[in-house]
Structure formats: structure tokens, C-alpha cells
Amino acid sequence: QVQLVESGGGSVQAGGSLRLSCAASGYTYSRYCVAWFRQAPGKEREGVARINSDGSTRYADSVKGRFTISRDNAKSTLYLQMNSLKPEDTATYYCAVAFAASYSYTTPLQARDYRYWGQGTQVTVSS
């Protein structure tokens, strides 16, 4: 049974940093693309960043230069380092496992490409 457990969320002031983690189990973690999504109240879920099995990445324009996605295949763990946080980053953040090992850079970050989801961790950024 696949399990994804996020941690590291919290409340910070604008300009601060947080590091999210997602511990995976129940499948061969290294073989699949994994990603972070987020959802703010009243808004649709949006892709934040993804990392393919080969380590290539793609970011949403809104987080480029501020967020860094990484993976540790030995630990079956996904990370999201978030710096220079803004109030508009406030959301519940979810990690997700894709159906495929990789997606081309031009493929948008879209929820329909992901089959397993964590329960989410809340990030709140105050101004």
C-alpha cells in the first residue's frame, strides 16, 4: 500500500523559509516522477514543482528562484525548500506520485498525471 506522509509545514512571516518533506513507502520510489502541489481556500489545486526520476525539474512560474525541489531516493523522501515566502504562498501543500517516470519540460504540472497523494501539510505566511 502506497503511503505519502508530508511534514514541515507551519506558520512563518513573509520573507521566511520552510522545508517540506514527504516520506514515501509501498512502491519503488526512485522509478517515478514526484511533485508538490498546493491548494489555497477557494482555489483550484495548482502544481508547484516536479522532479523526474532522472532528477530533471520543472517549477511553476510563481515559485521559480524561490523554491527548490529535491529527492533522496535512498530515503524515499521528497523535499521542497521554500525561501522568500510570500503571503500568496499560503496553502495546503501536497506531495504526489506520477503515473510515469518522467515528463518533458513542456508538459505542464497537472494533477491528472498523478495517482497517489499525501494528506497535505499547511503552510501559512503572514505579512
Distance in angstroms (rounded) separating the CA atoms of residues 82 and 125: 11
- pLDDT value, residue 3: 96
The grid coordinates of residue 35 equal: 511533485
Exposure on the CB side of residue 28, measured as CA atoms within 13 A: 6
pLDDT at 29: 87
Predicted confidence (pLDDT) per residue in 29-65, tens digit: 899 999 999 999 999 999 999 999 999 999 999 999 9
Residues in the chain predicted with pLDDT less than 50, given as ranges, are: none
Give me the pLDDT at residue 27, please. Answer: 86
Q: What count of other Cβ atoms lies within 10 Å of the Cβ of residue 17?
A: 11
